[in-house]
Chain A
Amino acid sequence: MPRFRNSSERYGIIAQALHWLIAALVLAQVALGLYAAKLPLGLARLEWLSRHKALGVTVLALVLVRLAWRLLDRPPALPDAMPAVERRAALATHRLLYALLVLAPLAGWLLASASGLSASWFGLFRVPDLIAKNPSLVAPLKLAHKIFVALLVLAVVLHVAAALRHAVVRRDGVLHRMLPWQPPAGR
């Protein structure tokens, strides 16, 4: 039976679904952003950047839902066997990830607003502007968006490396806490 809420050992399916959905969308967003930003000014650039903006605000919304859920449903504690320095590193990386998951799309949204190229959610409804159009903010916000995204990618690399270390080197079941299936028997 899948559990909706976290137990003391594992994440529940709500936390898992949000984790993997956001992970997939962030990867898609990095690819989409890199692709769209390279396109020359034209219809294709307008199309792909529009999709990037719509998907980006979706990521931000999901991250906020995830943070809210995390407050309601506290995550399982890390294994007692983990050294204190690793626990602190894990905690710091998770905090950094959450901060960047908010800051990166927020900077993108501010950039779209300042450019006067407001976002629309896949043509279904308008996404409100966060700030008024302001050409002098376009360059700094573009830079901020790139820096936050680059830091986010770095934090994700760290996070994935640590998860793999838990799974392959430590074999302590930490990765499986976030996977919908149980670890192989007799680990």
Chain B
Amino acid sequence: MAAACRALTLLLALACAPEAAAQCYAVDAAHGSVTFLVDQAGAPFKGAFRRFGGTLCLQGDAVTRIDVWLEPASTDTGLPELDAALKGGEFFAADQYPRVSFKSASIDMQRDREVARGVLEIKGTRREAAIPFRLQGGAAKPVVSGSFDLNRLDYGIGTGEWSNTKWLGGEVTVDFRAALSPE
């Protein structure tokens, strides 16, 4: 469809492009991962969020909208005691704030990658964030991926003694990658 539209655009150089319908895709969590990396006592510590999802819309080749979420209650570090602590009040307070979300306001191209600007909401704190990402695999099997850093203290992740960043780093790297399926 998109390819046909592009061909038509070339041929007619007319109304086709503006009228191209947005194609929205659902994030396929079964074929993806969202992981985080944080320094603990001088060594990197890795974990994952197992439940996440959302929508990504394309108009032609351009990404026009991103609306994604993850559930901190699905935090998985492989260490049950740590998972429980991370879901607890000092970290995600997952009972009270069951979803982390990102909604794009604008998306622009920067060199070879795209950057989504919008609002990242974690633990009830909403902040402007710029999240770089790549869309690969073509229209048939699109895959979205990217990586960005955030300061966990900006969102109150780690209160009380955990607001000390000497033993548990403040900077958290989030890596994401997921296949997209047409909605």
Contacts and interface: CB of A to CB of B under 8 A. Distances in A.
A183 interface: no
Contact of A118 (B44, B82, B167): B44
B78 A116 contact: yes
A46 B79 contact: no
A115 interface: yes
B82 A43 contact: no
Contacts of A122: 42
B86 to A, nearest CB: 10
Size bin of chain B's contact surface: 10 to 19
Which residue, of A115, A116, A119, A127, has the highest number of chain B Cβ atoms within 10 A?
Answer: A116
B82 A120 contact: no
B164 interface: yes
Interface string A130-173: 00011100100000000000000000000000000000000000
B155 to A, nearest CB: 19
Interface in B21-49: 40-46
A119 B43 CA distance: 6
Contacts of A41: 81-82, 85
Contact of B41 (A115, A123, A134): A123
A50 interface: yes
A116 B79 CA distance: 9
Contacts of B78: 115-116, 133-135, 138
A42 B79 contact: no
B167 A42 contact: no
A120 B79 contact: no
A133 B79 CA distance: 11
Interface string A35-68: 0000001110011001000000000000000000
A135 B41 CA distance: 20
Contact of B42 (A120, A133, A138): A120
A117 interface: yes
Contacts of A134: 78
A130 to B, nearest CB: 13
B112 interface: no
Nearest to A44: B161
B118 to A, nearest CB: 31
Given A41-B85, A116-B77, A47 B43 contact: no
B58 interface: no
A41 B77 CA distance: 15
A126 B43 contact: yes
B161 A117 contact: no
A42 B85 CA distance: 9
Nearest to B42: A120
B176 interface: no
B74 to A, nearest CB: 16
15 contacts: A42-B161, A47-B41, A115-B79, A116-B77, A116-B79, A117-B43, A118-B44, A118-B45, A119-B43, A121-B42, A123-B41, A134-B78, A135-B79, A138-B78, A138-B79
4 closest cross-chain pairs (CB), A and B:
A120-B42, A50-B41, A135-B78, A118-B43
